[in-house]
Structure 1
Amino acid sequence: MKAKALLIDDEQPNLDNLQALLQTYCPQIDVCGTALNVEAAKRLLYVHQPDLLFLDIQMPGQNGFDLLRSLSTYNFDVIFVTAYDQYAIQALRFAAVDYLLKPVAIDELQAAVERAHKQRQLKEQNQLLQNLMHVLKAGHQQAEQRVALATAKETRFVKIGEIIRCESSNNYTTFYLTDGETLLVCKPIYAYDDLLKEYGFIRCHQSHLVNKQFVKSWKKDYGDFLLLADGSEVPISRAKKDDLKKALRL
């Protein structure tokens, strides 16, 4: 059975192009309607009850985030389609919500549609959108900001202030939390480097990212190590020493 999709963008050529791409390369999608603004989108949401929204963020008047804020429930998946916007994309990455950059690449479109299909099967997207709204509301308040961490069994929403450190293992990253719990996440550590940098996280080693609020001391017994509040010792690479001293104001 095909998934019903609603396309929302304030520019008609963008809608036409996306609809053509979906019809040609994503046969599992049935486009049930298009909308040029939030008010039209609300009407079509009520009429069609779509499974999937392709939603532009930057629109005059009310934007894509405003549309989601106006809804009480999310009975659909969302793929954001947007031009580059650092704040918006940062929020989407924190919430682990899917997005495509304009102009839309065919392979990325197909991959996003497939992920949306899997998320719909897991009934996971409601939580992702709810967390996106939380991220947007929290802004840059570290104590309130949450990041979505996808493990093999679930997606966890963890406050940034509860993360002590991250450790890389090939294409996986282990998160060490203040309550002693560890989470193995199916993404490499570099995916979280830029994401967490502005919240006080420091890349002290190729395989290690630490929250500087939990750094207790810099040890120099047998090489250089950071001693953290949970008792763990994290190595400092020679290449990261200068940057680390600046970050710790040493």
Structure 2
Amino acid sequence: MLKALIIDDKPANINTLVKLVEMYCPQLSICATCRNIKEGYIAILKLQPALIFLDIEMPDGNGFDLFQRFERLPFEVIFTTAYDQYAVQAFRENALDYLMKPIDIEALQHAVAKAQEKASLVHNNDRLEQYLSQLRTPVPSKVSIPVLDGYLFINHQDIIRCEASGSYSHFFMVDGKKLVVSLRLKECEHMLPEKFFFGYIIPI
């Protein structure tokens, strides 16, 4: 579920939008509503919403003033306004959508669907970047494992698999040997590099 924030100086507009979101956009959660740019900026820093519904003409400033407070917007913006003359500027500022008041339900749903799609892409890109970062991180070639008569330093590439055996674990090696390790399997899982090992349960 995406967190959304509403910034609008008119309570009636806020209430209407909140009701429309609750009725027609269940994938959104309104985390806060604000009456001006200053309140909105503080709420963004505190709550870190993924989506902002932003009015343009407000007594304390223009909705575009919010853009100037961020070097890079960490959220998507859907403008909600009664004025059509700002549409070109809105899209130049990379707004996700531009909804005219009174807000059309289908247009709202379409805009929210775009926000959800972009959030999914960002999430997947972050996961990919995290994975690539792990691949770029050097992995120690050897690990120290406690065996019954001391410690062994072995190359993780020489390990085929590990199996649980009560409070011990069995390491099956490429040379055919089986080592008894005085660690539970969960502890072994944390010790071995994630790039090369993963856990699974064999059905009996």
On whether the aligned pair clears a TM of 0.5, the verdict is: yes
Alpha-carbon distance in structure 1 between the residues aligned to 2:117 and 2:59: 32
The Cα of 1:63 is off from its aligned counterpart by 1.6
Task: Classify the secondary structure of the residue corresponding to 2:6.
Answer: strand
Alignment-derived partner of residue 109 in structure 2: 110
Verify the 8 A CA contact 2:78 2:95 in the aligned structure 1: no
Q: Residues 96 and 14 of structure 1: is their aligned pair in 2 closer, same or farther, counting only changes over 3 Å?
A: closer
Are residue 97 (structure 1) and residue 96 (structure 2) matched? yes
Q: Which residue of 2 aligns with 1:61?
A: 60
Tell me the amino acid that sits aligned with residue 89 of structure 2: A
Distance (Å, rounded) in 2 between the aligned partners of 1:46 and 1:31: 15
Measured in 1, the distance between the counterparts of 2:56 and 2:40 equals 13
Q: Matches of 1:77 and 1:96 in 2, distance apart?
A: 7
Q: Residues 20-51 of structure 1: CA distance to partner in whole angstroms, max 9, x if unpaired? A: 10001100000000000011101111111101
**Pair 84,24 (structure 1): closer, same or farther in 2 beyond 3 Å:** same
Deviations 1:183-206 (CA, angstroms, capped at 9, x unpaired): xxxxxxxxxxxxxxxxxxxxxxxx
2:118 paired residue number: 119
In the alignment, what sits opposite 2:145? none
SS of the residue corresponding to residue 87 of structure 2 reads: helix
Paired with 2:61 and 2:69, the residues of 1 have a C-alpha distance of 10
- Report the structure number with the largest CA radius of gyration: 2
How far apart in 2 are the matches of 1:45 and 1:121? 20
CA offset at residue 55 of structure 1? 0.5
Unaligned 5+ segments in structure 2 are 123-204
Identity over aligned pairs, percent = 43
State the number of aligned residues: 122
RMSD, aligned CA: 1.7
Q: For residues 97 and 7 of structure 1, what CA distance do their matches in structure 2 show? A: 15
Task: Name the SS of the counterpart of 2:58 in structure 1.
Answer: coil
Cα drift, residue 96 of structure 1: 6.2
Q: Supply the AA of the counterpart residue of 1:92.
A: A
Aligned to 2:27: 28
User: Partners in 1 of 2:60 and 2:81 — Cα distance?
Assistant: 16
Q: Deviations over 1:105-131 (max 9, x none)?
A: 1111000000111122233xxxxxxxx
Q: Aligned partner of 2:71: which letter? A: S
- Distance change (3 Å), C-alpha of 1:19 and 1:76: same
**Corresponding letter in the other structure for 1:91:** Q
Matched residue type, 1:115:
K
Letter in 1 for 2:117: K
Distance 1:79 1:89 in 2: 11
What's 2:183 paired with?
Answer: none
Unaligned runs of 5+ in 1: 124-250
Residues 72 and 93 of structure 1: is their aligned pair in 2 closer, same or farther, counting only changes over 3 Å? closer
The correspondence of residues 65-76 of structure 1 with structure 2, limited to 5 A, is 65-76=64-75
**Which amino acid is 2:112 matched to?**
V
Q: Distance in 1 between matches of 2:33 and 2:83?
A: 22
Distance of 1:33 and 1:103 partners within structure 2: 21
Tell me, in whole angstroms, the C-alpha distance in 2 between the residues paired with 1:28 and 1:62.
30
Q: Show the counterpart of 2:173.
A: none
Deviation sequence 1:146-197 (CA, Å, 0-9, x none): xxxxxxxxxxxxxxxxxxxxxxxxxxxxxxxxxxxxxxxxxxxxxxxxxxxx
Cα distance in structure 1, aligned partners of 2:95 and 2:44: 23
Is 1:83 the equivalent of 2:82? yes
Q: Note if contact 2:24-2:105 (Cα within 8 Å) is conserved in structure 1.
A: yes
Alignment of 1:86-235 (within 5 A): 86=85, 88-94=86-92, 95=94, 97-123=96-122
1:81-116 C-alpha deviation (Å, 9 max, x unpaired): 111231x11223444631110000111100000011
